[in-house]
């Protein structure tokens, strides 16, 4: 293309079939970027590109979606003529609850759909274990763009066409597994859609991974740890008997929790990449780290535009600050989410990553949720911070729970129940946990220093708490 004097940014879909094959075969395996021009663009120039895409996306939704027509009726700016990113930030924020209410009133998609029902190519959604499920209708064009975006981001993670990618997450409504699969397919890797969740499936995963020896694994971080534990119980060494080079994760904090990341890297002898925004925001990999980033996720702003806002006031947060990511699709024709509230807590910075990408970065990943954040006697406590401390201890037995209770009607008390490694528990003998008093006190003091608030600690034997094949739920709030 360069020889022909062709240069520039082309709308998705310009190149099809054999041309795409040709372009990707020309992309050498050691290239750092899938699309160097877009990924290393001057941020100010990128803002211009984002604004152009936003104007198109917002106008499109305004013209076609009954929901946005109503939702923006009294907006302080004209959705058909957004002039700047600042103006765009004055459109109202959309919450999950509003999506639920809309979908209940106009089932199943709500009036979000901007294409004919007949043009829906895939239906995904949330499992709906709490409240009404949310439904996502995805058109064929969108599904292809999702594949392209995920391929580009998996390339940054270090996946190459010569790799086999094992997807060890449930294949159902959950779009995590499918999103990983479609990206790996688009990239040209060998795909191994193993799944998860069926009885005995983790033992089978141990057998299959030894046999197939995939280079990459997609799962949740807690499932990777469970897989390592299961392997060891079966006499299999996850480091030498599997041969994973990298693992990419989404769905929950872990990959950017230093001690958890280290535990996974040590267990498998691989490196870890953190990914994941929200299912509604698919391509959800647009929060996505790269193989050079020690921790955190780049924000692939030209695919999904992310802004951080203050959790209380919803005002924009400057670079370097902490806030709630609010996401906007830039390439969605079927069910675009515009200024969608995540409820998560993260910090963003213009980190200088050796990969050369010029995107802002969530330098510590997503480490909490505005609604999961425990306020204990005025102190903000994130479960991911407790996890970091516990996984840093040699005596840790693999799982933990946080129990919050209110004493005497006003005093919040946090109890950390943590498993202790089987060997240590057994060596404490018949006396059980009483023999471990010194350890309990040390864990309590370490937690108090890390969290800035006093906690009680209860020690439990390894294996006491249920392991998960999906996202872990570790907080029990009794208040
Ligand atoms: N969440 C998702 N990814 C996370 C991460 N890397 N670090 C911390 N928290 C994370 C389909 C993808 O797996 C994304 C996904 O899990 O979508 P869901 O099921 O809609 O859940 C979204 C929530 O998972 C986010 O709001 C984060 O709280 C968490």
Task: Tell me whether 0.85 is exceeded by the ipTM.
Answer: yes
Domain 13-371 has CATH 3.40.50.720: no
Give the confidence band of 271 by pLDDT, cuts at 50, 70, 90: very high
Distance CA 366, CA 94 (A): 20
| CA-nearest residue, atom 8 of ligand 1 | 253
Contacts 24+ apart (CB under 8 A), 439-447: 439/395, 443/390, 443/393, 443/395, 443/416, 443/418, 446/389, 446/393, 447/386, 447/389, 447/416
DSSP string over 83-141:
-SHHHHTTSPPB-HHHHHHHHHHSTTT-TT--S-GGGEEEEEE---SSSS--EEEEEHH
pLDDT band for 25, please (50, 70, 90 cuts): low
The H or E element that residue 416 is part of is strand 411-420
pLDDT in tens, 451-477: 888 999 999 999 999 998 888 889 998
CA distance 425 to 262: 24
Instruction: Report domain extents, the chain.
Output: 13-371, 374-477
Q: How far is the CA of 15 from the centre of ligand 1 (A)?
A: 32
- Residue of minimum CA distance from atom 9 in ligand 1: 252
The structure tokens listed for 216 are 């990459």
- pLDDT for residue 375: 77
Ligand 1 centroid, distance to 129 Cα (angstroms): 15
Cα–ligand 1 centroid distance for 287 (angstroms): 10
- Cα of 276 vs centre of ligand 1, distance in Å, is 5
Probe ligand 1: pick from 100, 150, 251, 295, max atoms within 8 Å of CB? 251
- Alpha-carbon distance 18 to 1, whole Å? 14
pLDDT, tens only, 212-269? 999 999 999 999 999 999 999 999 999 999 999 999 999 999 999 999 999 999 999 9
**Class of domain 374-477 (CATH, top level):** alpha beta
The pLDDT > 90 percentage for the chain reads 79
Residue of the nearest CA to atom 28 in ligand 1? 344
The token pair that represents 44 in the structure block: 């100010």
Q: Which residues are CB-contacts of 45 (< 8 A; sequence separation ≥ 6)?
A: none
Dihedral (CA of 295, 299, 303, 308) sign: positive
Closest CA to 288 of 227, 321, 246, 323: 246
pLDDT value at position 132?
A: 78
How far, in Å, from the CA of 420 to the mean position of ligand 1? 28
Place of tokens 């999103």: 179
């Amino acid at each position: 293309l360069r020889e022909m004097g062709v240069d520039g940014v082309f709308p998705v879909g310009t190149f099809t079939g054999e041309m795409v094959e040709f372009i990707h075969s020309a992309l050498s395996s050691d290239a750092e970027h899938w699309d160097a021009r877009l990924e290393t663009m001057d941020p100010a120039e990128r803002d211009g590109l984002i604004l152009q895409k936003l104007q198109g996306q917002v106008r499109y939704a305004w013209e076609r979606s009954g929901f946005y027509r109503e939702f923006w009726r009294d907006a302080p700016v004209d959705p058909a003529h957004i002039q700047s990113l600042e103006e765009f930030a004055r459109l109202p924020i959309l919450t999950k609850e509003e999506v639920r209410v809309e979908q209940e009133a106009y089932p199943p998609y709500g009036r979000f759909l901007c294409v004919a029902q007949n043009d829906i190519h895939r239906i995904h959604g949330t499992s709906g274990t709490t409240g009404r499920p949310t439904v996502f209708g995805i058109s064929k064009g969108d599904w292809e763009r999702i594949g392209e975006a995920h391929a580009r981001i998996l390339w940054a993670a270090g996946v190459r066409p010569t790799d086999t990618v094992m997807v060890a997450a449930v294949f159902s409504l959950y779009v995590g597994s499918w999103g990983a699969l479609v990206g790996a397919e688009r990239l040209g890797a060998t795909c191994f859609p193993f799944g998860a969740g069926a009885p005995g499936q983790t033992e089978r995963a141990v057998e299959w991974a030894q046999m197939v020896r995939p280079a990459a694994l997609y799962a949740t971080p807690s499932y990777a740890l469970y897989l390592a534990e299961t392997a060891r119980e079966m006499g299999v060494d996850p480091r030498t008997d599997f041969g994973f080079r990298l693992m990419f994760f989404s769905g929950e904090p872990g990959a950017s929790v230093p001690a958890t990341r280290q535990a996974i890297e040590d267990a498998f002898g691989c490196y870890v990449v953190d990914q994941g925004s929200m299912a509604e925001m698919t391509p959800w990999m647009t929060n996505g780290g790269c193989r050079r980033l020690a921790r955190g996720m780049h924000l692939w702003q030209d695919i999904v535009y992310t802004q951080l806002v203050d959790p209380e006031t919803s005002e924009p947060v400057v670079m370097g600050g902490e806030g709630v990511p609010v996401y906007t699709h830039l390439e969605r024709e079927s069910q675009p989410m515009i200024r969608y509230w995540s409820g998560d807590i993260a910090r963003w910075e213009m980190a200088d990553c050796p990969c050369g990408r010029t995107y802002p970065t969530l330098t510590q990943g997503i480490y909490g949720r505005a609604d999961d954040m425990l306020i204990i006697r005025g102190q903000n406590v994130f479960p991911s911070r407790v996890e970091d401390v516990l996984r840093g201890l040699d005596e840790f037995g693999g799982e933990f729970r946080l129990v919050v209770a209110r004493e005497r009607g006003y005093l919040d008390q946090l109890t950390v129940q943590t498993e202790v490694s089987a060997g240590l528990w057994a060596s404490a003998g018949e006396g059980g946990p009483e023999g471990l008093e010194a350890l309990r006190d040390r864990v309590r003091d370490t937690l108090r220093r890390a969290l800035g608030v006093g906690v009680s600690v209860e020690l439990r034997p390894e294996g006491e708490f249920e392991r998960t094949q999906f996202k872990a739920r570790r907080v029990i709030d009794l208040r």
